[in-house]
């Protein structure tokens, strides 16, 4: 079977494709796009929507997303019969779809809208009927079952890619809907808020909480001093909302736009990412050199991963680094260190973050994230929300002149910027761990085995020890929670059978591709798009004057004037946290 | 048998899911699958809660809401319809005093619609719990329901 090709004719064009290729994919090779609502190249096809029908000579009409191209097949993708079938199907779907396009979050990015336009649907002969009450959730991930076309993409990504399996199809027939176990509201379920269902939804049935109004109100309040931070992954994706290609790095325009929106200080989460490396790197080095049984150290930057761990792997809590995520480190410093330096009152400061992530909204709302004495991060905007604010303000993003972030908490190194791609935190930490252990600098900072889109990456990194020996550091990187399960099951098994794991340091990111693939990023991405965004970050890393977190002068200043040293008592109070155990039905903290 | 024993009476393979759910529901005095039962089934078969809940809501023979002691399923398929099924459905609603999907106040009967029961030869037909009753008319219907009532302790 493997390696064999089949020859098919598509609309008269003869192409050869590997055996097992679905007709929909084969048609792309022949230069034809076949419309589909339920199919997504990253997900296993399920054939629910029927939009991708084609005519096969001598066989009849078939769904091309889940029919493999067979040798000698003569396939037509746009006969009158195919077109009529598609038009009827889309009419039927529209008859059960709340088509409030102008006020829909997915307007302009909606597959149903696009296909309906392409097929020239101008009339729906069956009157749409609303079956469900409008919004059924009050959390971060929001459903509108009236818009849902039951394509199952969200269920597939939640179950097969993320391994959370929170979503399922409930009931059947006209009143069936996508929901959770026991039909709990999403905010009361085991949902980890990763938002992958939102980015894979072909229509506007899934969306995320919008916090732009609160941010606007703070910006307009003369009594408030509003500071903003932007996560590494924003700069490699924000441009997509303005017609740039994925991976185009727009750090300068992003900082300029935020200043024009009226933020009093435009800082950068990358600064906090460098701080995070010093805290987490110190913790890693201490745990490894002290022979602690709590190994591997597992990264803690990804709040979707943290809630997942608290729900499904609470027994591994002691392995997870106590270091807060860069967002929350920044938040704690924005209301302690910053007002001290700037002569402001912390109660006047509003701290806003821009994140590629929907789970960051949950993280900022966690009750323990108040080490400054206030809510450390007041509002979290996604990349999409920031893009909307830029658009509604009438700013011409593409014409903005590049501007740097404000220095005090805005300078950053290349190590920080790669946080946004899978493997980036690992690579950044290793660059600094080398320095912490040896006192020397790593010459070649490119640690290639931990880069790329492979689901689980492993490497052995030789680390020279102060006593002259060498420690072979065994590391692993997983992105996407389904991949995380694979490595976690291995670790748990090793700990249960031998009391020790062979791994020293493990990076886990909830979303496929890392933060560049986050649930708050621009719609319409594939794993390919996510890889391009990641490449943009590695490119920025390559061009920055410093590529190691401990060399960041603004971070050095923070420790000299405020924190003392990494993992000091003050650093512990402000920059570290603890985790809870959650129940497996509703995801609430146990006890 | 306890619920746990019922669940463990079959091997923990996914293809036993429906059979286990049937056994558990049959043993539940309120004729439904409650949350602890669904969780225990899911844990036993190592399936996500959402998956087991999805299955339990997909099949009309299962219920995730409490039902009466007896479930009355009246056939709504064409052969029964042609033989006066509409009248039978109306009589049932009237005599029991509930709509389809609801349970009588005394908790004895839940009225449901069913697709073909496979007994078209004795249409119009209904099924109470596992037992089929055919050649129904208004009088026979009342007799059957009254007898069920009398059988109650």
**pLDDT tens digits for B60-106?**
999 999 999 999 999 999 999 999 999 999 999 999 999 999 999 99
Among B35, B54, B64, select the one facing A168 at the smallest CB separation.
B54
Which residue of chain B comes nearest to A166, CA vs CA? Answer: B50
Choosing from A55, A187, A241, A283, which is the catalytic residue? Answer: A283
| Confidence at residue B134, expressed as pLDDT on a 0 to 100 scale | 96
- Domain identity same for A282 and A145: no
Per-residue model confidence as pLDDT tens digits over A73-94: 999 999 999 999 999 999 999 9
Residue for token pair 């024009």: A260
The pLDDT of residue A591 is 59
> pLDDT (tens digit, 9 = 90+) per residue, B23-48?
999 999 999 999 999 999 999 999 99
End residue of a domain, out of B14, B36, B58: B58
A180/B50 CB distance under 8 A: yes
Q: Do B54 and A170 touch (CB under 8 A)?
A: yes
How large is the average pLDDT for residues A270-283?
97
Note the pLDDT tens digit of each residue in B95-153.
999 999 999 999 999 999 999 999 999 999 999 998 999 999 999 999 999 999 998 87
Mark yes or no for CB contact B53/A183 under 8 Å.
yes
Best CA proximity match to A539, nearest among A424, A433, A444: A424
Q: What's the CATH code of the domain at A273?
A: 3.40.50.1780
Q: What are phi and psi of B131, to 5 degrees?
A: -105, 135
Mean pLDDT for all residues in chain A? 95
Question: What tokens does A82 get?
Answer: 């195919």
Report if residue A73 sits inside a domain: yes
Q: Do B48 and A165 touch (CB under 8 A)?
A: yes
> What angle separates helix A111-118 from helix A80-94, to the nearest 10 degrees?
140
Half-sphere exposure of A395 (CA within 13 A, CB side): 23
DSSP labels, A370-422: -TTSS-SS-EEEEHHHHHHHHHHTT--GGGPPP-PPPSTTT---HHHHGGGST
Q: Span A409-416, mean pLDDT?
A: 98
> Is residue A245 among the annotated active site residues?
no
A184 touches chain B (CB under 8 A): no
Q: What was the pLDDT predicted at A134? A: 66
Tell which of A174, A208, A242 closes a domain.
A208
Give how far Cα A510 sits from Cα of A308, A310, A478, Å.
Answer: 8, 13, 8
* A132 burial type by CB count under 10 A (0-12 exposed, 13-18 middle, 19+ buried): middle
ipTM score: 0.91
Q: Is the confidence at residue A396, as pLDDT, over 60?
A: yes
In a domain, B64, yes or no: no
User: In chain A, how many domains are there?
Assistant: 3
Same domain, A30 and A101: no
What letter would DSSP give residue A325?
P
Q: pLDDT band at residue A129, thresholds of 50, 70 and 90? A: confident
Q: Which of A150, A177, A208 is the last residue of a domain?
A: A208
- Interface A–B counts its CB contacts (< 8 A) at 40
Range of the domain at A61: 5-92
User: In terms of residue numbers, what domain contains B25?
Assistant: 3-58
Q: Which residues lie closer than 8 Å to B91 by C-beta, 6 or more apart?
A: B138, B141
Q: Provide the CA A489 distance to its chain's centre, in angstroms.
A: 23
Least confident interval from A127-131, A444-448, A559-563? A127-131
Q: What is the DSSP letter of A102?
A: G
**Which helix (H) or strand (E) covers residue B145, if one does?**
helix B138-151
What are the tokens at B74?
């009246």
Q: How many domains does chain B have?
A: 2
- Model confidence band, residue A2 (pLDDT cutoffs 50, 70, 90): low
Rounded to an integer, what distance in angstroms lies between the CA atom of residue B44 and that of residue B14? 10
């Amino acid at each position: 079977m493997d390696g064999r090709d089949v020859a098919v004719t598509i609309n008269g064009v003869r192409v050869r494709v590997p055996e097992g290729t679905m007709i929909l994919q084969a048609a792309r090779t022949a230069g034809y796009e076949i419309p589909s609502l339920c199919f997504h190249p990253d997900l296993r096809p399920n054939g629910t929507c029927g939009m991708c029908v084609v005519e096969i000579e001598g066989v009849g009409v078939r769904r091309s997303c889940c029919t493999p191209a067979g040798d000698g097949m003569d396939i037509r993708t746009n006969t009158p019969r195919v077109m009529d079938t598609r038009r009827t199907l889309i009419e039927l779907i529209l008859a059960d779809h709340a088509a409030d396009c102008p006020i829909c979050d997915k307007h302009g990015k909606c597959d149903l809208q696009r296909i309906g336009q392409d097929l020239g649907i101008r009339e729906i002969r069956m009157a749409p009927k609303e079956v469900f009450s409008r919004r059924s959730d009050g959390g971060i991930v929001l459903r509108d079952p009236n818009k849902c076309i039951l394509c199952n993409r969200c269920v597939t990504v939640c179950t097969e890619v993320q391994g959370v399996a929170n979503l399922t199809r409930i009931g059947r027939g006209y009143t069936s809907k996508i929901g959770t176990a026991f039909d709990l509201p999403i905010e009361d379920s085991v949902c980890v808020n990763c938002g992958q269902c939102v980015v894979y939804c072909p229509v506007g049935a899934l969306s995320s909480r919008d916090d732009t109004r609160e941010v606007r109100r703070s910006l307009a309040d003369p009594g408030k001093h509003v500071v903003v931070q932007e996560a590494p992954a924003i700069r490699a994706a924000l441009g997509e909302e303005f017609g740039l290609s994925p991976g185009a790095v727009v750090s300068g325009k992003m900082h300029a736009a935020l200043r024009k929106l009226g933020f009093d200080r435009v800082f950068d989460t990358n600064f906090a990412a460098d701080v995070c490396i010093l805290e987490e790197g110190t913790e890693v080095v201490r745990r490894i050199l002290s022979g602690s049984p709590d190994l591997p150290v597992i990264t803690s930057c990804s709040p979707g991963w943290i809630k997942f761990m608290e729900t499904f792997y609470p027994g591994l809590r002691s392995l997870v680094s106590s270091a807060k995520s860069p967002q929350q480190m920044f938040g704690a410093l924005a209301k302690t260190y910053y007002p001290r330096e700037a002569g402001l009152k912390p109660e006047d400061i509003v701290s806003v973050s821009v994140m590629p992530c929907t789970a960051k909204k949950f993280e900022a709302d966690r009750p323990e994230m108040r080490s400054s004495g206030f809510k450390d991060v007041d509002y979290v905007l996604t990349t999409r929300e920031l893009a909307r604010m830029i658009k509604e303000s009438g700013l011409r993003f593409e014409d903005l002149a590049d501007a740097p972030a404000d220095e005090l908490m805005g300078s950053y190194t290349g190590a920080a910027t790669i946080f946004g791609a899978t493997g980036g935190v690992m690579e950044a930490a290793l660059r600094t761990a080398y320095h912490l252990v040896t006192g020397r600098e790593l010459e070649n900072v490119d640690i290639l085995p931990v880069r790329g889109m492979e689901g689980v990456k492993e490497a052995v990194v030789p680390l020279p020890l102060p006593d002259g020996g060498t420690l072979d550091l065994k590391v692993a990187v997983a992105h996407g929670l389904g991949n995380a399960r694979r490595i976690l099951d291995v670790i748990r098994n090793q700990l249960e059978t031998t009391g020790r794991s062979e791994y020293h340091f493990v990076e886990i990111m909830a979303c496929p591709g890392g933060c560049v693939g986050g649930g708050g990023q621009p719609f319409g991405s594939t794993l390919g798009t996510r890889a391009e965004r990641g490449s943009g970050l590695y490119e920025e890393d390559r061009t920055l004057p410093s590529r190691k977190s401990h060399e960041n002068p603004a971070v050095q200043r923070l420790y000299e004037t405020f924190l003392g040293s990494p993992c000091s008592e003050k650093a512990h109070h402000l920059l570290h946290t603890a985790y809870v155990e959650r129940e497996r039905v509703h995801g609430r903290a146990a006890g | 048998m306890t619920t746990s024993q019922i669940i463990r009476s079959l091997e923990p393979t996914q293809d036993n899911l429906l059979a286990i759910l049937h056994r558990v529901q049959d043993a539940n005095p309120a004729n439904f699958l409650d949350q602890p039962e669904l969780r225990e089934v899911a844990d036993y078969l190592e399936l996500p809660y959402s998956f087991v809940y999805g299955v339990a809501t997909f099949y009309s023979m299962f219920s995730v809401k409490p039902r009466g002691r007896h479930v009355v399923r009246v056939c709504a398929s064409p052969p029964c319809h042609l033989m006066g099924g509409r009248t039978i459905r109306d009589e049932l609603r009237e005599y029991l005093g509930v709509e389809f999907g609801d349970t009588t106040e005394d908790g004895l009967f839940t009225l449901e619609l069913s697709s073909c029961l496979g007994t078209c030869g004795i249409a119009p037909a209904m099924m109470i719990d596992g037992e089929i009753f055919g050649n129904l008319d208004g009088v026979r219907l009342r007799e059957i329901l009254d007898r069920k009532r009398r059988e109650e302790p």
